[in-house]
Amino acid sequence: MIDKLSQLFDIAKGSDKKIAVAAAEDEIVLKAVKEAIERDLAEFVLFGDATELKKLCTNVGLSEGFKIVHAASTSEAVTAAVEAVACGKADLLMKGKIKTGELLSVYLKEEYGLRAGRTMNLVSVFEIPGFDRLLIVTDAGMVIAPSLKQKVDSIVNASKVAAALGIDNPKVAILGAIEVVNEKMPATIDAAILSKMAHRNQIPDVIVDGPLALDNAISEEAARHKGIDSPVAGKADILIMPDIEAGNIFYKAMVFLGGALVASTIMGGKAPIVLTSRADSDLTKLLSIALNVLIAKGASK
């Protein structure tokens, strides 16, 4: 089982996976690509304006381990990158200089066969200073107000990331502000339903409990203090956030206040998507590439 994100580099090293970068004309993305190639994590196909890409590659010192495929427009680059994944010429997709929604609108077209029948969402893995294990968290940036069905899909997506990290039967905490069901707080009702669904194997290969407040989910001492007897309380591997606000605040608090390292992926389709933001550190971008390569390796077994 992986307990440090830096271990991703060793496990992903020497991978034969190929990453299609959609609209790759972005120095920040290309710097991440360069570092990934230098660490022997993957090969890359860069889709975009060939003249601009050659200039940018020179600027960042990127000279090997990649191929450029010319596209006359951003939309053409995105379509070509998605098609490369759909037909098996690439193993996973990476977002370049384009909005996430524009990329997903092409990825989800039925003609490409990349849908897996689940909601797609952002899954992030945190290494938090002073904490004894990695925490898998969803969703900090895509699904605004998840329905019960979308929360089920979120658990499944997160559990697949957990499997890639070597965590069997992950413990899943459905978070809320309190640890009891309150009819005025819909998140607590969803949590209770999800717990029962998992108990009856409607959500397989996971141990689910909720509602749990954050302290009860991650601290055994806090759970004991409140008299919570649960296989998940204090031991959670996965945190399911009630909505995007909670997820986004948690993400940024961990990174900017807690000094956490993080790697992220978009799950729910047949191939993972590497999502990097301009606000992410270079290390976060590199860790995200390594995580997605590892997930793709597991999916191909």
pLDDT at 219: 96
Classify residue 118 as exposed, middle or buried by CB count within 10 Å of its CB (0-12, 13-18, 19+).
middle
Side-chain half-sphere CA neighbours of 241 within 13 A? 24
* Pure H helices in 108-147: none
Co-location of 128 and 103 in the same domain = no
Co-location of 134 and 214 in the same domain = yes
pLDDT at 299: 58
Number of domains composing the chain: 2
| Number of residues that this document lists for the chain | 301
Of the chain, the end-to-end C-alpha distance in Å amounts to 18
pLDDT at 295: 95
Which letter does DSSP use for residue 257 in this model? Answer: I
Co-location of 140 and 212 in the same domain = yes
Co-location of 149 and 172 in the same domain = yes
In a domain, 264, yes or no: no
In a domain, 192, yes or no: yes
Q: Which two tokens stand for residue 237?
A: 């591997």
In a domain, 159, yes or no: yes
In a domain, 210, yes or no: yes
In a domain, 263, yes or no: no
In a domain, 262, yes or no: no
CATH number of the domain enclosing 225: 3.40.718.10
Co-location of 219 and 289 in the same domain = no
In a domain, 291, yes or no: yes
Torsion of the alpha carbons at 253, 255, 261 and 262, rounded to the nearest 10: 80
Co-location of 250 and 125 in the same domain = yes
Residue 267 to residue 293: CA distance in whole angstroms: 13
Spatial CB neighbours of 253, under 8 Å, sequence gap ≥ 6: none
Co-location of 37 and 163 in the same domain = no
pLDDT at 275: 85
Co-location of 240 and 282 in the same domain = no
| Site of tokens 């951003």 | 74
Asked if omega into 211 is within 30° of 0 (cis), the reply is yes
Would you say the C-alpha torsion 157, 283, 250, 11 has a positive or negative sign?
Answer: positive
pLDDT at 277: 72
In a domain, 265, yes or no: no
Co-location of 74 and 196 in the same domain = no
pLDDT at 288: 95
What pTM was computed for the model? 0.94
Co-location of 286 and 215 in the same domain = no
CATH number of the domain enclosing 88: 3.40.50.10950
Co-location of 241 and 132 in the same domain = yes
What is the residue range of 275's domain? 6-115+270-299
Per-residue pLDDT of the chain (301 residues; tens, 9 = 90+): 899 999 999 999 999 999 999 999 999 899 999 999 999 999 999 999 999 999 999 999 999 999 999 999 999 999 999 999 999 999 999 999 999 899 999 999 999 999 999 999 999 999 999 999 999 999 999 999 999 999 999 999 999 999 999 999 999 999 999 999 999 999 999 999 999 999 999 999 999 999 999 999 999 999 999 999 999 999 999 999 999 999 999 999 999 999 999 999 999 999 999 987 767 778 888 999 999 999 998 755 5
Co-location of 178 and 145 in the same domain = yes
